[in-house]
Structure 1
Amino acid sequence: MTDLTCHFLGQPLANPLMNASGVHCRTHAELDTLATSAAAAMVTKSCTLEPRTGNPEPRYRSLPLGSINSMGLPNEGYRYYLDYADRFDHEQKLLFLSISGLTLDDNVEMIAAIREAVNPALLEVNLSCPNVPGKPQTGYDFEAMDELLDEVNDAYKRPFGVKLPPYFDISHFDAAAEVLNRYPRLAFVTCINSVGNGLVIDPETESVVIKPKDGFGGLGGSYVLPTALANVNAFYRRCPDKQIIGCGGVQSGTEAFLHLLAGASLVQIGTALYEEGPAVFDRVLGELAAIMASKGYATIDEFRGKLKML
C-alpha cells in the first residue's frame, strides 16, 4: 500500500496536490468545488486591492501541449477572498490566500488586513504577474523584490510565502535565493508562474490566438515542464530552510512524481485542472500511487528531493 500523506509547515496533509492560483479559484462557488475535491490544499486567485475584470476576451487558448493566457488578474478584490477564508473550514483543507498588489502600498494595505484576521490561511505574495499590461514582474527586479519582502516581513509577523516567475539563468537562481534567504519568516516558495510573453500564431488564420497584448501571453502545460522542474530543484537546493511548491506541466501522476523528486513538498495543477475540472485530482493521485507502487516506494519521503545526478 502506498501512503500519499505529506507535511507542509508542520501540518499533516492527505496528499500533496492542490490547484494553481488563477485556475478554478476566482469565485466562492469555484473555491467550494475545490474544497470538496480530492486535493489536500487549495489557493485563492491572486487578488488585488480592488476588483478587476482583467484583460479583454479571448484571453485563454488551449493548445496541443498546454495553454496560453493573458488573463490580466481578474479577481473580486482581496476582501472577497479574506471573507471566504474567514468562513472556511480550515480543518478540511490547507488554504492559501494569494495576493498580488499592483503597488507596494497596495500589498502593505492588504497584508495589514490579512494580519488582523483570525483565520489560519497561509499568505502567498505573488511576485510574478506577467500578463498585466504596463506592470513589470517584481520577481525579475531583485532590488524591488527585496524591498517588498522587507515590508512584508515587518508587517505580517507570521510565516508566509512567495510565488516566483521562472528564471532561466544560474546567476538569477543565485540572486533570487540570496534575497529569499534573508527572511526566515518566508517559509515557502511557489515556482513557477507561467512562462511569460510567448506568442502563438494560428497558421490557418495567420493571426494570434488571444487578444490582449497583441497576442503575447503566459505559457502553461507541457510546454513549461522542464523549466518548472529546473526552478523547483534550483530553489530546493538553494533554500534548504524553505518548502517548495511545484507548479507547471502537471498533466498526470508522472509529472507530479517528477516535481516531488525535484524537491517539491506540494504540487499544483493548472492547465489540466482548467481543461478537466476538479476530477483531475483523483486521476493524478491514482496515477501517482501506481508509479510509487511500481518503484517500491511506500511513502513520498522515500524519494522526495532525491533527484539523481549523472
Structure 2
Amino acid sequence: MLDLSTFFLGRPLAAPLMNASGVWCNVTNQLNALAKSEAGAMVTKSCTLVRRDGNPEPRYHTLSMGSINSMGLPNEGHLYYLDYAQQHDYENKPLFFSVAGLTLDDNLTMVAQIQDAYTPAMVEINLSCPNVPGKAQIGYDFEALDVILAEISSAYARPFGVKLPPYFDIAHFDEVAEILNRYDKVAFVTCINSIGNGLMIDINSETVLIKPKQGFGGIGGEYVLPTALANVNAFYRRCPEKSIIGCGGVSTGEHVFMHLLAGASIVQVGTALYEEGVDIFARLKIELARIMQQKGYQKIEEYQGKLKTI
C-alpha cells in the first residue's frame, strides 16, 4: 500500500524526485532520458537569451563528498529549450523551464516568449548563478531581488518560481522571505544552488582543480546537505503559501527523506545524478520506500514538513 506519488501545485507526480537544473538537461537527448527515467518531474538547463559555451575546461571536478564546478551557464539558448517544452509530453511528467537571464530585460524577454508559446511548463527564475564571471548573484542583492520579482510578476500572467542561493544568517532568511511573500505569483522556491566560491587544491601538483576564476567554484554534493536542509526548512516555515523544492546534498533515500521532512515538496538531485546517471532515481525511490516502510508511513504527506524540534 506504500505510495510515493505526490502533488505539486495541483499537478500529480509519480515520485517526489527530479534533476537539479544544470545536470542531465543541457541537450535534447539528456532531457529525453530524464523523461523516460523514474524521476517524477524534470527541469531544463538554466538558459540565457542566446547560446553560451560557458567557462573554459576543466570546470568540474569530483571531490570525496561532492563536487566543485564553475560551468559558467553553458546552454543552447532559450529558444532551444522553448522548442523542447512545446514538444514535451506533460501527461508523462511535469516540466520546469529554468530561466537565467544575464539582465532583467533578458529575463523579461524570455518569460514573454514562454507565455506566448502557451506551454504548460512551470517557469523558474534562477537568481543564483555563482559561476558567471563578472555577474553577481541577484539573490544576494535584496533590492534587486525585489525589483525583478515585481517586474516578472507584472509581465508574466502565470505563477512562477525562483531558485535561490544559500543563505547563512537568520536575518537574511527573514528578509528574503518577507520579499518573496509580497508576490503571490511566486508559487514555489527552489533552494539551494551550490555554495559559491569554494576552493579545493591538488596537493600533489599544488594547483587548483578547475580552471575558471583561478580555481574558485560552486560546491555541491554531500558537503552542502546541512546548508540545504536549513534553507529548505527556513523558507518552509517563513513562506507557508509557497511550495519548496529542496536541492543540495542528495545521494541516498535517507537524504530525500530529510529534505521532505524539512518541508520540501520535491527533491532535486545534482552532483549524484551527474556521477551516477538517470538510473539513480529508481534507486532513490527504492531507498525512500524502504525508510517509509520501516517508519510505518504509507504516504509522503504523513511526514512531509513535520520536522520536530527539541
User: Quick check: TM above 0.5?
Assistant: yes
Matches within 5 A, 1:266-277: 266-277=266-277
Deviations 1:251-286 (A, max 9, x none): 110000000000000000000000000000000010
Once the two structures are superposed, residues 229-271 of structure 1 have per-residue CA deviations (whole angstroms, 9 ceiling, x without a partner) of 0000000000000000000000110000000000000000000
1:182 corresponds to which residue? 182
Match of 2:158 in 1: 158
Q: How many residue pairs align between the two structures? A: 310
- In the alignment, which residue of structure 2 is the partner of 1:12? 12
| TM-score of the two chains, using structure 2 as the length reference | 0.99
Q: Give the structure 1 partner of residue 111 of structure 2.
A: 111
In the alignment, the residues of structure 2 paired with residue 302 and residue 127 of structure 1 have an alpha-carbon distance, to the nearest angstrom, of 32
Which whole-Å CA distance do the structure 1 matches of 2:271 and 2:24 have between them?
A: 10
Alpha-carbon distance in 1 for matches of 2:30, 2:13? 21
Say which SS state the counterpart of residue 256 (structure 1) adopts. Answer: helix
The 2-side partners of 1:2 and 1:169 are apart by 38
Q: Secondary structure at the match of 1:255?
A: helix
* Percent identity for Structure 1 against Structure 2: 68
Residue of structure 2 in register with 1:65 after alignment: 65
Determine the structure 2 residue equivalent to 1:238.
Answer: 238
Measured in 1, the distance between the counterparts of 2:14 and 2:105 equals 37
What is the distance in 2 between the residues matched to 1:108 and 1:199?
Answer: 34
* 4+ residue runs over 2 A deviation: none
State the shift of 1:209 in Å.
Answer: 0.2
Kindly provide the CA deviation profile for residues 128-165 of structure 1, in whole angstroms up to 9, marking residues without a partner as x. Answer: 00000000000000100010011110011101000000
TM-score by length of 1: 0.99
TM superposition shift of 1:12: 1.4
In the alignment, which residue of structure 1 is the partner of 2:257?
A: 257
Match of 2:304 in 1: 304
- Match of 2:42, SS state, is strand
Q: 1:116 is aligned with what amino acid? A: D
**In structure 2, how many angstroms separate the alpha carbons of the residues matched to 1:117 and 1:131?**
30
Q: How far off is 1:172 after superposition?
A: 0.4
Aligned ranges 1:1-310 → 2 under 5 Å: 1-310=1-310
SS of equivalent residue, structure 1 residue 56: coil
For residues 182 and 88 of structure 2, the distance between their equivalents in structure 1, rounded to whole angstroms, comes to 32
Deviation digits for residues 83-140 of structure 1, max 9, x if unmatched? Answer: 0000111111110000000001111111110111121000000000000000000000
CA RMSD in angstroms comes to: 0.5
| Counterpart residue type for residue 205 of structure 1 | S
**How far apart are the structure 2 equivalents of 1:62 and 1:147?**
37
Name the amino acid aligned to 2:152.
V
Q: Secondary structure of the equivalent of 2:168? A: coil
CA distance in 2, matches of 1:168, 1:8: 27
TM superposition shift of 1:65:
0.2
Structure 2 residue matching 1:176: 3-state secondary structure: helix
- Report the Cα distance in structure 1 between the residues aligned to 2:7 and 2:114, rounded to whole angstroms: 24
**CA distance in 2: counterparts of 1:250 and 1:74, whole angstroms:** 23
Any unmatched runs of 5+ in structure 1? none
Distance across 1 between alignment mates of 2:14 and 2:89: 16
Letter in 1 for 2:237: R
2-structure distance, mates of 1:205, 1:300: 48
Distance (whole Å) between structure 1 residues aligned to residue 28 and residue 177 of structure 2: 34
User: CA separation in 2, counterparts of 1:114 and 1:148?
Assistant: 17
Report the Cα distance in structure 2 between the residues aligned to 1:13 and 1:148, rounded to whole angstroms.
30
Please give the alpha-carbon distance, in whole angstroms, between the structure 2 residues aligned to 1:14 and 1:100: 28
For 2:220 and 2:180, the matched residues in 1 are separated by: 25
